[in-house]
Structure 1
Amino acid sequence: MTEAPSSAPSGPRSFAAMRHSGFRAQFITYVFSMMADNIEHVISYWVVFQKFHSPALGGFAVLSHWLPFLLFSVASGALAERFDPRRVIQVGMGLFIIASLAWGYFFITDSLQMWQAMVILVIHGCAGVLWQTPNQMLIYDIVGPHDLASAVRLNAMARYLGILVGPAVGGVILLALGPAHGIMLNTIFYLPLVLWLVKAPYGPRFRKGTPPPRRAVRGLADIVNTIRDVRQHTVIVSMTVLAGAASFFVGNAYSSQMPGFAAELGHGDPGVSYSMLLAADAAGGLLAGLALEGRNMMPPRPRTAIILALLWGVALTVFALSHSYVLALCFLLAAGFLELSFNAMAQSLVQINAPPDMRGRVIGLFNMASLGLRAFSGISVGLLGSLIGIHWSLALSALATMIVARCLLAVQ
């Protein structure tokens, strides 16, 4: 089996990607857009819950967010290969803005119906899939292969920052302006990325050398073809399987079960202790980005990524089965640290090893696994939790991920 080089160049610098002015602009605008994405969740989910009190609609919100990644991530990568990824991202941002404006209209007129909410949720999910894969392609153009690992890790940290800050800002906006005007204001936070991409000097027009042939976008057929094309690249396969297993079995399903965990730990009422549990995972991810970038720790290697995933499974298992609030909080923080570490490393390895003529589709395949399969984690953690309890469902889901990781480690 053929295998491309799997490690980054030696001697990386602290926060190497930040030395590129283009990446600094991308990082800032990415944080604003990720924050806006989460602000919209806070406001729209609150209004939808108040109006319909429908658990089924809440479940649809999760599916509509992740299923587009499962179905269209590879197609999104193919689009970014064939066309300018900057413009694909701008289309995604446009859909985000349309979704926010639609929510605002229905909130102002108090005419929202369930089917309309479902349509807007689907638009929002499609916006995300048109953003993430082309954005990862653009990062490669901005920093190049030497600083790619740093850029991927910092971009993951930016995602956690948006997830951590967005709900807090969304809550303030909701209280200060109300849902209608608050979600209208939210559209402004998408504009910095849209405007920066207008003339950002990155993408196909600015690449050196002979451009790869422009392939037709074949939709779902691209998934089969991409799997067939990468099956000889062992690093890409192993990292995609690793990310897919973590996403399928665990994903972020335990976040939606946090009220149950908090109640079992004696902190189910709203307050600082409950908020700390909600924020611990994202805080751990931020800490990982700062610590690993600042110390130049752990260059991307397949075995390292797999071992980190195993430790992530251990941390989640201890959190799930703990009866101590302090212990649970500590291991939830550790889980966030380890999740960013192994996910960013896996993504870096996939990007480093992706053949240039199919980079977009390979990144899309990785996103299909790492993001799209999260749609099913609600079954392994949530549905199973209704039968045997959320503590054991999360522990068993983490154990299943660890078994896959251990098998991958054995064949390295």
Structure 2
Amino acid sequence: MYHHRNFRLFWLASVASTIALQMQVVAVGWQIYQLTHSAFDLGMVGLAQFIPSLFLVFIVGHIADRYDRRRVSQVSLVIAGLSAVLLATGSIGDWLNRELIFIIVFLIGVGRAFNKPTMQALLPELMRPDELPRAVAGASSATQVAVIVGPALGGFLYVVSPVAVYLVSGGLFLVSALLLGQIQSIRRVPQKEKASLSSLFAGIAFIRSRPAVMGAISLDLFAVLLGGATALLPIYATDVLHVGAVGLGFLRSAPAVGALSVAFFLARRPLSKRVGRIMFIAVGCFGCATIIFGLSHNFWLSLVALTVLGAADMISVVVRSAFVQLQTPDAMRGRVSAVNSVFIGTSNQLGEFESGITAGWFGAMPAVLIGGIGTLLVVALWIRLFPALWQVDRIDIAPREENK
């Protein structure tokens, strides 16, 4: 698949934009905690990023299905780049405060609200259906490469200055937008039609009509929502493990190390049998790794737990992403991906908010343990609620009929 020019450009654009985003995550999290020393405020950072995706979900999906997906992603990356410039300017002028950081993070969330589902819908345009499982794993490897490099680079640059972090991330967002512009147009943009309530909400209707798809999306939603331990990494790095900003960068990178290893493996040897059961087992391992991390006071054990957590999550991501995309007709992919983004992608931010609130009430360690145990309970419940998902055998089979 890497011999496809369009896929290579897509892969490189994903790497650049994700490195930029992860650098921002480290810098903003560290900066807000230095300003307030509040677990609640760390959670509010996640909420500020989540709100745009929640309220724009139906508009995003409609736009992704009616306009050139490359251009939509480019505009969203420009918004993210301008937000990075604002953060850099505020850091230089020393006028950034808690409230202004939340406002700028909200703008970043607006960019992400458009970019993530649009990129998800763009990928199937570049590959044949039988190539998509490998392509999803390959695209996920791009994300994980960036998640490894981004936090570590952000941590090192933050030691120099938060301004350096924000300027470099802004430049990378611009590079990503330019790379997307080089992808050749391979999709005929449908004739624009007036938006209606039925077209805006078609993504929800489609997901509800497919129990296995609904089960896959909602399982990851609740697992990520409850397992948002990474939001509390600044607290663990500072107060539990005592490893500072550089250690925080490595802790944020650890899940990506495990995820990247699995992504490279699945890109070469995609899962072919009993993928539904494998996904449930992977989410269960995610919950167990979260519990181990929550109990750990040892830096190396914490790194191992986070690595296993990332590996288990990647198995779930590849199975769910390929399965949902292959079960969705192209004309619906933007709207379904937008709903999926709220259910899955932005549940990371909502999970950070939940973790911050829980940590503010009970402390960091109880918050992580509650999340891990809750994930295991969700796995057991979802096996009973969605037997069709448990019984899914293969993911490389397209739907039998179109749903327009």
* 1:66-114 per-position Cα deviation (integer Å, ceiling 9, x unaligned): 2223332343222110111111101101101211222233333333455
Secondary structure in structure 1 of the residue aligned to 2:95: coil
Shift, 1:182, TM fit:
4.9
- The residue aligned with 1:36 is 20
1:255 to 216, 221, 230: 230
1:351 to 286, 306, 325: 325
Q: In structure 2, give the amino acid aligned to 1:79.
A: I
Does 2:175 match 1:192?
A: yes
Q: TM-score, normalised by structure 2?
A: 0.83
CA RMSD of aligned residues (A): 3.1
* 1:313-363 per-position Cα deviation (integer Å, ceiling 9, x unaligned): 233233334566655443332111000111221111110101333111111
Which 5+ residue runs of structure 2 have no aligned equivalent?
A: 389-404
Q: TM-score, normalised by structure 1?
A: 0.82
CA distance in 2, matches of 1:355, 1:28: 26
Runs of 4+ in 1 over 6 A off after TM superposition: 271-274
Does 2:77 match 1:103?
A: no
Q: In structure 2, give the amino acid aligned to 1:231.
A: R
Q: Cα gap change, 1:74/1:249 in structure 2, threshold over 3 Å: closer, same or farther?
A: farther
Does 2:347 match 1:373?
A: yes
- The residue aligned with 2:6 is 22
CA distance in 2, matches of 1:96, 1:36: 9
Shift, 1:123, TM fit:
0.9
Moved more, 129-138 or 367-376: 367-376
Secondary structure in structure 1 of the residue aligned to 2:129: coil
Q: Cα gap change, 1:215/1:303 in structure 2, threshold over 3 Å: closer, same or farther?
A: farther
- The residue aligned with 2:151 is 167
Q: In structure 1, give the amino acid aligned to 2:187.
A: P
CA distance in 2, matches of 1:280, 1:164: 7
1:360 to 309, 318, 334: 334
2:214 to 237, 244, 258: 237
Does 2:288 match 1:314?
A: yes
- The residue aligned with 2:393 is none
CA distance in 2, matches of 1:246, 1:51: 30
Q: What count of residue pairs does the alignment treat as equivalent?
A: 386
Moved more, 88-97 or 231-240: 231-240
2:101 to 117, 120, 132: 117
For the 8 Å contact 1:74–1:222, the answer to whether it is kept is no
Shift, 1:380, TM fit:
4.7
1:157 to 141, 144, 160: 141
1:180 to 141, 144, 163: 163
Q: In structure 1, give the amino acid aligned to 2:75.
A: V
For the 8 Å contact 2:202–2:335, the answer to whether it is kept is no
The equivalences for 1:275-294 within 5 A come to 276-294=250-268
Shift, 1:20, TM fit:
1.9
For the 8 Å contact 1:300–1:345, the answer to whether it is kept is no
For the 8 Å contact 2:80–2:108, the answer to whether it is kept is yes
Does 2:364 match 1:396?
A: no
Q: Cα gap change, 1:376/1:199 in structure 2, threshold over 3 Å: closer, same or farther?
A: closer
Q: In structure 1, give the amino acid aligned to 2:230.
A: S
For the 8 Å contact 2:42–2:356, the answer to whether it is kept is no
- The residue aligned with 1:9 is none
- The residue aligned with 1:12 is none
Which 5+ residue runs of structure 1 have no aligned equivalent?
A: 1-16, 206-210
Percent identical residues = 22
